[in-house]
Amino acid sequence: MKKAIIEKLAALLTAAFGLVAALAWNDTIKAIFAHFFDSTANIIGMIIYAIVVTIVAVVVIYYVGKAETKVNGKKEED
């Protein structure tokens, strides 16, 4: 039981720090896009930003899933 609690706590802390880091990067990337797109093109900049972030998230999640599968020793299905 103690091991399960520690594992869950570690997962929650990792997620919490990941969220904080993601929010920091979110503000940074927004500032970069604001620098390159003026206020009249703000909507276009937001759409481009959302697309870029979505693509990066999908790629990262894909590779994290592959790494987790490899670490857990499960067979990977393509």
- Domain residue extents for the chain: 2-72
At 23 the pLDDT is 85
What is the C-alpha separation between 55 and 59, in angstroms, rounded? Answer: 6
pLDDT-based confidence at residue 10 (cuts at 50, 70, 90): confident
pTM above threshold 0.75: no
CA proximity to 50, closest of 58, 62, 38: 58
At 64 the pLDDT is 80
Apex 43 CA angle, 42 and 46, nearest 5: 85
At 4 the pLDDT is 77
CB-CB contact of 49 with 30 (8 Å)? yes
At 25 the pLDDT is 82
Lowest mean pLDDT among 9-13, 33-37, 56-60, 64-68: 33-37
At 41 the pLDDT is 59
